[in-house]
Amino acid sequence: MTLFSLKALSQGAFSENNPQTIVTGTQQLNDTTSINAVIKKADGIREQVIDSALVLYNQAMRACQLHQYNYGMAKALFGISRCYNNKEQKESSVFYARQALNWCPNDIRGHELIASVYLALSEIYYYQNRYDSCSYYRYTALRELENNKVTNPRAQIGVLCSILQFWLNAHEDIHNDLYIREVVQRINNIERNAQATNDSSLLLKIYFHKGGYYNNIGQNDSARYYCERHLQLGQALKASPSMTIATLLNIGLTYMDDKRPEAALQYYKKALAEIPEQRQSENRYVIFANIFQGEAYAMQHDWKKAIAITEPALAEANNFQIMHLSDHAHKTLADAYEALGQYKKANEHRKQYSLLRDSVQRIQKLEMMYDMEVKYRLSDKDKQLAQQELAIERNESRLKTKNFWIIAISASFILILAIGVLIYRNNYHKQTLQAEKIRNLRQEIQIASLQAMVNGEEKERSRIARELHDGIGGTLGAIRTRVSAMVRKYKTAHTNDDFTELMQMLEEASADLRKTAHNLMPEILLQEGLAKASLLFCERLRKGHSLQINTEIWGKVRRLPGDVELTAYRIIQELMHNMLKHAGATQALVQIVFHESQLCITVEDNGRGMPADDSQGEGIGLRTIRERVKLLNGQIDTVSTPGEGTSVYIELNLAATNQTKQL
């Protein structure tokens, strides 16, 4: 069974406004802004408080006549047409829709409104089973957009979805229909653009119709997926309740196709629960839901329930001249009465069902109309191309007589323009060179400042390392020697444990001091180079902490200029210390890759990562690293995911190859 179209279901929509909204009194409308506000207010309440909406539309019409505001007049007339459609007064609805067409202005929004009116007329004829008129107005809406180059995606999706819905109902098998595939492709293109721009209201409409498409090709799981997406998005956007009701009914229909009437009944009842009690008597959704429930009970062979719920629904459908689902109701009743042995009634409903199913002939006519439509559009394009070619030939003959004067005037103009361009380019080039010199000077000053700062830091580190090693280190060595002599001299059973503990503490202090001095100015870096110094540093960290460090050296290892090796070593030191302090990691990777003209450093961990909304900015350590990288014209890239770890990738530009030496 084919799912509903969004445009058709929207005709029975409820207002999101206060259901008790009543229009009392009038207000003075002095300009188009106030008129538009009144029309917008009427649009919001016309699905539930129709009479109040009619008062507002008529008030807007009088103001539009006074201010000669044609677009507002067309909008008000179209709103009145929708009100009468909600009242199920189809003739009045058609009358006011045709009146609205006479007031639409000849601009983009006017053409968009014309297309909307055509679609509204097509929906009226659709529920009356007048498929020929329905088809005509939907294709007329499409030509209105194409002929006037209307590119608004909302207008396009409205027309494309209405045409898709029409052919889904007209065709028994759409799997291989090239025209439907073309329409679906255009809808998919608009969907991708809507997803890229996060246009939720447009996606809401697209998901509804894609649910119908997948149901028609027998992919009900996909149909239910898009229906559920539509429900979720509609809840987030606080969409009209009618859209929720329609989607719930559509999900029920997919379960009916899967022969699961119990699940279908649950969704039909959910849909009925969404309809306010005061609208139950005049709402077409009640008719649809009851007809569908009757089919579900018939599928369960609960014939009495099927009759009890279908007969009143069929009577209401006939009362409101809603012929769209009457054939389903007659078939349900025919099957139910036949099962109960009431063959006379079963025969009557079977005849009515057969008469309504004769509309298959109409579908065949529509398919012929479709072929004619395609041929017409192709021939119309060919005709336009022929006319354009004829016009081009005529214009070419006229242009030949004017070419001489055009060439002479153009040459003079081009000469003047060329002189002006040359003068401008000369001035611009001078300004560009001057700006480039200023930028280079600033960059040189900045690099010199950074170089001085780094050199000062390294000198200070060397001085502190020497003082620690030669000064405090020597003092600790002397203390250790004296204490050792005292142990040998005064060794007794009473003092043995205390001296032993004291000697151990002195050994640990000496080891810590040597480690600190080495970190400040590692001798192995100066003697063996970056690769071995980094391996030794990581190995010491691994032994002193519960951290598994994997160190990898790739490429052709060689000695680099001193400033490059020292900068790279300090960067690795700072990154590893930051990891130990803040990351809480259990595993880490340090990778050094030697390229011909670059040195690449990667440090990764599986720690807690950096906060996504770090309001305090970067720490001193990371800022220092960035300054060191900038000093060597390098680049740094940091990727961090909270709870998953941090990855830092650094590229440093190396000095010329002849300034390096092989290890």
Span 189-222, pLDDT tens digits: 988 998 899 988 888 888 888 887 888 788 899 9
Residue 494, pLDDT > 60, answer no
d(CA 184, CA 162): 12
Share of the chain above pLDDT 70, in %: 74
284-299 and 241-257 are packed helices; what angle lies between their axes, rounded to 10 degrees?
A: 20
Residue 411, pLDDT > 50, answer yes
* Residue 458: CB atoms within 10 Å: 17
Residue 430, pLDDT > 50, answer yes
**Cα-Cα-Cα-Cα dihedral of 93, 98, 104, 108, to 10°?**
80
Nearest in space to 332 (alpha carbons), one of 301, 289, 363: 301
Between 531 and 444, where is the model more confident? 531
What are phi and psi for residue 621, nearest 5 degrees?
Answer: -60, -45
Q: Are strands 548-555 and 587-594 parallel, antiparallel or unpaired?
A: parallel
Residue 264 contacts residue 256 (beta carbons within 8 Å) = yes
Mean pLDDT value of segment 104-115: 92
Residue 251 contacts residue 268 (beta carbons within 8 Å) = no
Q: List alpha helices for 258-359, DSSP H.
A: 261-273, 284-299, 303-319, 326-339, 343-357
Cα separation values, 267 from 11, 261, 270, 299, 325, Å: 21, 10, 5, 16, 18
**Six token digits for residue 349:** 């409903």
Report the chain's mean pLDDT, rounded to a whole number: 78
Query: Averaging pLDDT over each range in 167-181, 299-313, 387-401, 486-500, which range is the top one?
Result: 299-313
Mean pLDDT value of segment 49-68: 92
Give the angle subtended at the CA of 554 by the CAs of 548 and 559, to the nearest 5°. 110
Span 119-132, pLDDT tens digits: 999 888 877 777 77
Nearest in space to 563 (alpha carbons), one of 454, 453, 448, 637: 454
Mean pLDDT value of segment 547-570: 88
Q: Residue 635: beta bridge partners? A: 651
The whole-number pLDDT of residue 658 equals: 39
The whole-number pLDDT of residue 16 equals: 35
Mean pLDDT value of segment 344-359: 82
The pTM assigned to this predicted structure is 0.47
Nearest in space to 257 (alpha carbons), one of 627, 2, 428, 524: 2
Tokens 């519960």 -> residue: 546
Three-state DSSP state, 663: coil
The whole-number pLDDT of residue 39 equals: 93
The whole-number pLDDT of residue 662 equals: 41
